[in-house]
Structure 1
Amino acid sequence: MSKRAGLLLVLILLPLLAWAQKVEVREEVLPNGMKLLMVERHDSPTVACGWVAKVGSVNESPGITGISHLFEHMMFKGTKTIGTKDYEKDREILARQDAVRAEMEKEYSLLREKLRKGEISGSIYDPENATPRLKELKAELEKLYAQEKENIVKDELDQIYTREGASGLNAFTTEDQTVYFVTVPANKLELWFWLESDRLANPVFREFYSERDVVREERRLRVESTPLGKFEEQFDAMFWQSTPYHHPVIGWPADVESISRKQAEAYFGTYYAPNNITAVLVGDFDPEKALALARTYFGRIPRGPQDPPEVISEEIPQLAEKRFLAEADTNPEVQIRFHAVPFGHKDMYALQLAADLLNRRTGRLYKSLVEDKKVAVGEPYAQFRPMKYAGFFEVGAEVKEGVEPAAVEAALLAELDRLAKEPVGESELQKVKNQQLANSFRRLQSNFFLMLQLALYDSFGNWRFINEAPAKVQAVTAQDIQTVAARIFTKENRNVAIYTRKAGTAEDPELAALPSELKGMVKQQLAQIEKMKDAQKLGMAIAQMQQMAAKVPPQMKPAFDFLLKKMEQRLAQLQGEGKEE
């Protein structure tokens, strides 16, 4: 493998919270409250198009956790005119499905009571606990599913876009937002306005209950059955005490099983109203014409009767260290996490620079844990994750064979303590500042990634962050980092997860089949993938990987495909754990 190819794969996995040089953005707000951000670039005859609904798992309440992620699936099921052969027949079938599901919920309520009394065990959804009436209702629902499928035009939205030359139709859900995007030819921009406004104005939640079951199975396969998925989900729940970040993006199992179409429609009315949405266009178009199209298509959608409710829960101060110990089918690992600050906080820049000082092969953690103390393998990591209402800072490392996890934990804490007690050297600090700005400049040459970043930043409350951050990064001093490190990296604020390896765990057979000269590189990348905690960033990295797939040299294809598969699995895992993409 060439050094250039290896570097390319490493760069894809770098954190994507980046800053840009001045970006000229035109902002318009329609009468219904929908915001439109436009960046005119004529380098390529395409437009990167997207919109963000400012809703994620943080907006959910117990009983409907996972509903935001479920909407990501539902928004591809079509409208009154797209995805169906006969809409009136659709309505009849959906109404009958809802009636059957309502009867099933009565049976599940009886089973819940039996479970509380100890008359049954396991889950009320386990087949062995199904009552005769429940079995009858399930059979009736399966017949309705079959009738519904006969009336569906499968994936018609994607077919229309593909036929007209568009690419990359997709979406992702995080704790704080849900983003939908596609790249269209410049002469098909009106198609995008029509299709996307139709999705928002006339959605039909086809295959709702069967798709809900698909999501539940996705959770089982990719969270509950993965080596660390179920443990990291519980570590998250332990970490977050009093905010909705406590529950996973994919939802808790019983909630996913019980969400009704009526609940979904109410949720849609609240959070998918135009006054809670920002659309973003970056590419080859005329802003005046685009604004006219926005008024014609998106402007027809009525404003929501009221703005979505504010998230008022706050994370209470942690009073004592918490520890999470587990045996898993993975290499021994130590993770240490601290409560930090949300997006937009004045200390955000110092914490991001602190993470960069520690991170990667050029950072302090690698030098200390791998080169000097020789207690870790792979690449130890550090990351600062600011979310809309809270944030965390985490470090971690894979334990070297024959070394006790306690030694790795001590080495990680020593580097954090060093940040709190010793000022960073001027040249070292300037180096990481320059790296951040250089990485950001490269990434924002892409219309697609600029569109995504504007959407995400606006959903956090301020798209102007993309222009304001460089000066604020440069203004961070060594004293700023030392002060925030001393405040954040305390024992009382510390949460430690230690994963030890179960005996008899074998190497992944797909990894074992790769050429020996690639295996070491792939293992390093796998370690990086496992360390990624941000679903939105990982989703963006996957999109970039997919765009590069056709250009990968044949000798690299097995390793490339294997890594892409693992990234997609990790993304599903993060969505299940409540980490973002």
Structure 2
Amino acid sequence: MTSALPRARRAAALALAALALAAAAALAGAAKRPRAAREPAAPPRADLPAPEEHVLDNGMRLLLIRRPLAPVVAGGWVAHVGSANERPGITGISHLFEHMMFKGTRTIGTRDAEKDLRLIEEQERVREAMRAEESKLRAAWRRGEIEDWTRPEAKTPRYRELEAVFDSLVREQRANMIKNEFDQTLQRNGGSFINAFTNEDMTFYFVTVPANKLELWFWMEADRLRNPVFREFYSERDVVYEERRLRTESTPTGVFDESFDAVFWDASPYQWPVVGWPSDVAHITKAQADEYYATYYAPHNITAILVGDFDPAHALALARRYFGAIPRGTRPVPEMITTEPRQRAEKRFYGEIESNPGVRARWHTVAYPHRDVPALIVLQEALNGTTGRLQRNLVLGGIADNARAAATHRKYEGMFEVQAECKEGKTPEELEQAVHAELAKLAAEPLPADELQSVKNRYLANTYRQLTSNFFLLLRYGVAEGLHSWRDADRIDAAVQAVTAADLQRVAKAYFTKENRAVAIWTRKGGAGEDPAVAALPAPSRGMVRQILTRIGGAKDADEVQQILARLEQMAAQTPPEMKPALELIRSKAQARIAELSGASGRRPTP
């Protein structure tokens, strides 16, 4: 039986997403023939049916996209809540829900529902007493009476007593649980790609199921929305804390990136990480989670999406039967009031990390779907790829080892960033000046017509690839809906094709100014250099490989690594040649780690 460990699912998702994005980047960067670059590309197929949009009586929105190409359906739902909706003290709670929503319901995941709920209530009473002891420890630390109140040796005798009682209740609850029943039920019925992600603006849950299991999908999703049970809440919170450590604190650039975000944003809630601040994540309570859920997971704050082989009328009837039975909810979703103030002067940030020296220049831009978004997307595409300006002038020019641009448009704010690592013998300061020079050219000189058309063609090709897959169509419209409206996905694609050279100059002049930017410069921290095998990879793939290898190295269970490896193998056939060396390196490291963990435990991983 396939392992369904929650951490393994997230680890596998990380590997899959990273490889897929890297592959897309490699494809996007493929060189175009000069003649083709001057010719407008044909638009994407127009025979895709427009999504049907419905609003149920309880306020839940529904998008239906029928594509009867194969007897499968990609289904998902977007909760319009992300880390930007949090507040200090509970940062990371949106991401915590990504984990808790797989714990089951009153029907799924337990042998005795009444006993389960009683044990949860008893656990909460004990945790309340434990929190009182933690408050005393924090106060003692602030008075300077103890060095670190989070260390095990700082626990009071009363705390240890309560902890033993709590652990006993958890053991009793686990004996009553049916572990991972939600995932396993879907898997037994042909479900695949069972996963979720959280970002600053949304939480997205999705799965692919056989077309004849559509009603099962409706029933299970409605059940976990209406009757969720947050079992093992505190132990799962600890898993999230550990995930934060692996993702951020154990990676070469994690803490540096997190600190730079906090410097870049003054007022916006984008200043804190999606995974939350450590002190917040470690102390989120179930009562806080219940309140957050009641506010942000009510039907009027959710959009469900189906793409695939189904009858829209039948799907709508199922939605009304299952989703429509969920109570509307009584709490209004708070409006986002805080806006980022205008930056008045350049910000600079310096640090040492275990990575090649480099620079990151970042400018404040606009939220999605502002009218300037299409032009900023075109500027990003003009800088990126094997024929882009960063490659031609910085990498081939001998200044940078690698360089990339990213136009990021979130629900409430936006930014444009160029990141580059130094070629050996070059300094971050030299590289920074080269980056600024490239962006200054975009403001001073119109993009030549053939270069502009080549960029548009490349973007159009990427869009077409999205339209060929039910799963990527689900993500395409779901992400756009999470940011503003699903209609923006098509509108912005069309607007990109209408961008002019004058638009690019106007936007570059408006945003790429010194007073509007923040610059991060880093040098290599003393100690061992980068793994030669990673250093030998093509520059665009190194960051992805570092992240996955960090997750593999931090894995404590062979099954977890096996899940990562399995997802990578699923993507192997679609991996472009440029990414094959990265895939081979990850495969060899994963196999070695599996052997190491299996030897330590004396057992083989679950196949």
Q: Which residue in the other structure is 1:375 paired with?
A: 399
Q: Which residue in the other structure is 1:424 paired with?
A: 447
Q: Which residue in the other structure is 1:94 paired with?
A: 120
Q: Which residue in the other structure is 1:4 paired with?
A: none
Equivalent residues in 2 for 1:61-460, closer than 5 Å: 61-122=87-148, 124-372=149-397, 374-377=398-401, 379-460=402-483
Instruction: Give the partner amino acid of 1:72.
Output: E
Q: Which residue in the other structure is 1:479 paired with?
A: 502
Pair 1:9–1:468, CA change in 2 (3 A): closer
Q: Which residue in the other structure is 1:576 paired with?
A: none
Question: Are 1:49 and 1:281, in contact at CA under 8 Å, matched by a contact in 2?
Answer: yes
Q: CA deviation at 1:119?
A: 1.8
Instruction: Give the partner amino acid of 2:124.
Output: D
C-alpha separation in 1, matches of 2:201 and 2:566 = 20
RMSD of aligned alpha carbons: 2.7
Alignment deviations for residues 160-193 of structure 1 (CA, whole Å, 9 cap, x no partner): 1111111110000000000000000000000000
For residue 387 of structure 2, give the secondary structure of its aligned residue in structure 1.
coil
C-alpha separation in 2, matches of 1:529 and 1:411 = 27
2:11 is aligned with 1:11: no
Instruction: Give the partner amino acid of 2:131.
Output: E
Alignment deviations for residues 423-461 of structure 1 (CA, whole Å, 9 cap, x no partner): 111111111011111110112210000011111111112
Pair 1:142–1:301, CA change in 2 (3 A): same
For residue 515 of structure 2, give the secondary structure of its aligned residue in structure 1.
coil
Instruction: Give the partner amino acid of 1:11.
Output: A
Q: CA deviation at 1:78?
A: 0.2
Question: Are 1:526 and 1:566, in contact at CA under 8 Å, matched by a contact in 2?
Answer: no
For residue 80 of structure 1, give the secondary structure of its aligned residue in structure 2.
coil
Which structure 1 segments of 5+ residues have no match?
A: 1-6, 513-518, 533-540, 568-581
C-alpha separation in 1, matches of 2:167 and 2:77 = 35
Q: Which moved more, 1:129-138 or 1:475-484?
A: 129-138
TM-score, L = length of structure 2: 0.84
Alignment deviations for residues 497-553 of structure 1 (CA, whole Å, 9 cap, x no partner): 1121122223337x37xxxxxx74455411466799xxxxxxxx9998564247889
Which structure 2 segments of 5+ residues have no match?
A: 1-18, 29-42, 549-563, 591-607
Q: Which residue in the other structure is 2:488 paired with?
A: 465
C-alpha separation in 2, matches of 1:203 and 1:42 = 33
Count of residues paired in the alignment? 540
C-alpha separation in 2, matches of 1:467 and 1:328 = 40
Q: CA deviation at 1:470?
A: 3.2
TM-score, L = length of structure 1: 0.88
For residue 81 of structure 1, give the secondary structure of its aligned residue in structure 2.
coil
Pair 1:130–1:171, CA change in 2 (3 A): same
Instruction: Give the partner amino acid of 1:277.
Output: I
For residue 492 of structure 1, give the secondary structure of its aligned residue in structure 2.
helix
Alignment deviations for residues 393-439 of structure 1 (CA, whole Å, 9 cap, x no partner): 00011111111111100000100111111111111111101111111
Instruction: Give the partner amino acid of 2:236.
Output: E
Instruction: Give the partner amino acid of 1:74.
Output: M
Q: Which moved more, 1:307-316 or 1:282-291?
A: 307-316
Question: Are 1:526 and 1:563, in contact at CA under 8 Å, matched by a contact in 2?
Answer: no
Instruction: Give the partner amino acid of 2:399.
Output: V
Instruction: Give the partner amino acid of 1:12.
Output: A
C-alpha separation in 1, matches of 2:565 and 2:272 = 24
Alignment deviations for residues 182-224 of structure 1 (CA, whole Å, 9 cap, x no partner): 0000000000000000010100000000100111122123211
Q: CA deviation at 1:232?
A: 0.5
C-alpha separation in 2, matches of 1:157 and 1:71 = 15
Q: CA deviation at 1:466?
A: 2.3
Q: Which residue in the other structure is 2:67 paired with?
A: 41
Q: CA deviation at 1:558?
A: 7.9
C-alpha separation in 2, matches of 1:39 and 1:218 = 35
C-alpha separation in 2, matches of 1:50 and 1:107 = 42
Q: Which residue in the other structure is 2:38 paired with?
A: none
Pair 1:8–1:343, CA change in 2 (3 A): closer
Q: CA deviation at 1:462?
A: 1.3
Instruction: Give the partner amino acid of 1:64.
Output: I
C-alpha separation in 2, matches of 1:41 and 1:281 = 10
Q: CA deviation at 1:152?
A: 0.9
Q: Which residue in the other structure is 1:496 paired with?
A: 519
C-alpha separation in 2, matches of 1:100 and 1:341 = 47
Pair 1:273–1:187, CA change in 2 (3 A): same
Pair 1:140–1:303, CA change in 2 (3 A): same
Question: Are 1:522 and 1:563, in contact at CA under 8 Å, matched by a contact in 2?
Answer: no
Instruction: Give the partner amino acid of 2:138.
Output: R
Question: Are 2:356 and 2:421, in contact at CA under 8 Å, matched by a contact in 1?
Answer: yes
Q: Which moved more, 1:248-257 or 1:187-196?
A: 248-257
Question: Are 1:282 and 1:448, in contact at CA under 8 Å, matched by a contact in 2?
Answer: yes
Q: CA deviation at 1:118?
A: 1.8
Equivalent residues in 2 for 1:527-538, closer than 5 Å: 527=543
Alignment deviations for residues 85-121 of structure 1 (CA, whole Å, 9 cap, x no partner): 1111111211111111111111111122122222222
Pair 1:423–1:462, CA change in 2 (3 A): same
Q: CA deviation at 1:560?
A: 1.5
